[in-house]
């Protein structure tokens, strides 16, 4: 049986592909378990400093939860296991991930995008939370992450009407980083990933850790977290390498430790 989640690493970038194109890359229980295993692999992989998630085919990045699987009783396994929906939206990862959106990113698919740090999308991509049209709601983070990711009025329109927006509108709202032709999608995502990976991996992860909780903690709590992270960074091999490489006028050789 062909894997529903594909994983490969090149130049410190892990490419994770949803491989269920005939079902618009919608998640059932088996696909969720595969994704969770891949996320464990990504997090433990010392060669992977950043990731890209994308979908197979050109119809959809991810249509969210497989509603037929949900109706068959697979909902808890898809929604409420470790890592949250799809084994991804609440997964406690430390490395940045870019969404390369190759088509519609709807419902849980949009919530996967919201879980990523950067987004590249094809011109035909759509983003939306249509759960209200199916008697549900954006319960995998969309209901509160979307208003943090674009102006409130537009987020509320998407959430309450269930109607999607296209890639160009998403770009103008600052929701995504780039809109590109279909044949340039992975090139654009890889370019972003490589621009991340030229930097010290531990420094990138430190910025990510603080940015993620920027709206969830008080200033006092953030300064304490900042101090805790600083102690680990300043004692690292990479923190010693950076200034030496600068003084010697050469590219640094990061070790991620």
Give me the catalytic one of 46, 131, 163, 248: 131
Q: Say if residue 186 is in the same domain as residue 205.
A: no
pLDDT at 166 over 80: yes
Would you say residue 257 lies in a domain? Answer: no
Q: Does one domain contain both 237 and 127?
A: no
CA–CA gap between residue 61 and residue 50 (Å, rounded): 19
* Residue 242 domain flag: yes
**Mean per-residue pLDDT for 52-58?**
94
Residue 244: the pLDDT is 84
Same domain, 210 and 182: no
For residue 255, being part of any structural domain is answered with no
Set 34, 74, 111, 117: catalytic member: 111
115 lies in the same domain as 222:
no
168 in a structural domain: yes
Shared domain for 77 and 180, answered yes or no, is yes
pLDDT of residue 70: 84
Name the band, by pLDDT with cuts 50, 70 and 90, for residue 80: confident
Q: How many domains does the chain have?
A: 2
Would you call 8 a catalytic residue per the annotation?
A: no
131 as an active site residue: the answer is: yes
Tell me the pLDDT band of 243, cut-offs 50, 70 and 90. Answer: confident
Classify burial at 41, counting beta carbons within 10 Å of its beta carbon; exposed 0-12, middle 13-18, buried 19 or more: middle
In a domain, 100, yes or no: yes
DSSP-assigned letters across all residues of 122-187:
ETT-EEE-GGGGGT---TTTHHHHHHHHS-HHHHHHHHHH---EEHHHHHHTTS-SEEE-GGGHHH
178 and 108: one domain?
yes
Pairing verdict, β 104-106 and 126-128 = parallel
CATH of the domain at 132: 3.90.226.10
Are 71 and 170 in a shared domain?
Answer: yes
Determine, yes or no, domain membership for 252: no
* Residue 1 predicted with pLDDT over 80: no
pLDDT of 188 strictly over 80:
yes
Alpha-carbon gap, residue 235 to 206, rounded angstroms: 13
In the chain, % helix, strand, coil (3-state, to 5) comes to 50, 15, 35
Least confident segment among 31-45, 74-88, 112-126, 163-177:
74-88
Same domain as 178, residue 107? yes
Residue 24 lies in a domain: yes
Please tell me the predicted confidence (pLDDT) of residue 18. 97
Average pLDDT over residues 33-61: 96
| Domain annotation covers residue 253 | no
Residue 151 and residue 96 in one domain:
yes
**Average confidence (pLDDT) over 149-178:** 97
Query: Is pLDDT above 80 for 219?
Result: yes
- Locus of tokens 């300064």: 223
Out of 2-16, 146-160, 179-193, 229-243, pick the least confident.
229-243
Are 153 and 85 found together in one domain? yes
Query: Is-contact 176 122, C-beta < 8 A?
Result: no
Statement: the pTM of the whole predicted model exceeds 0.75? yes
Q: Domain range holding 62?
A: 5-197
């Amino acid at each position: 049986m062909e894997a529903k989640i594909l994983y490969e690493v090149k130049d410190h970038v892990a490419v994770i592909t949803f491989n269920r194109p005939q079902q618009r890359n919608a998640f059932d229980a088996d696909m969720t378990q595969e994704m969770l295993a891949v996320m464990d692999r990504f997090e433990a992989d010392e060669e992977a400093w950043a990731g890209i998630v994308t979908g197979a085919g050109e119809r959809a990045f991810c249509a969210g939860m497989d509603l037929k699987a949900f109706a068959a009783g697979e909902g808890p396994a898809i929604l409420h296991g470790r890592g949250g929906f799809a084994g991804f939206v609440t997964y406690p990862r430390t490395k940045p991930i870019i969404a390369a959106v190759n088509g519609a990113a709807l419902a849980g698919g949009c919530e996967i995008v919201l879980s990523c740090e950067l987004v590249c999308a094809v011109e035909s991509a759509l983003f939306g939370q249509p759960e209200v049209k199916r008697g549900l709601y954006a319960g995998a983070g969309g209901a509160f992450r979307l208003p943090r990711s674009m102006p409130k009025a537009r987020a509320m329109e998407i959430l309450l009407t269930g109607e999607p927006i296209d890639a160009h509108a998403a770009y103008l709202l600052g929701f995504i980083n780039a809109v590109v032709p279909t044949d340039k999608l992975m090139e654009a995502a890889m370019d972003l990933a490589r621009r991340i990976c030229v930097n010290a991996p531990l420094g990138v992860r430190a910025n990510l850790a603080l940015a993620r909780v920027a709206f969830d903690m008080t200033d006092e709590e953030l300064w304490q977290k900042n101090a805790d992270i600083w102690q680990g960074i300043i004692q690292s091999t990479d923190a010693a390498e950076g200034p030496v490489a600068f003084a010697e006028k050469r590219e640094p050789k990061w070790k991620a430790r």
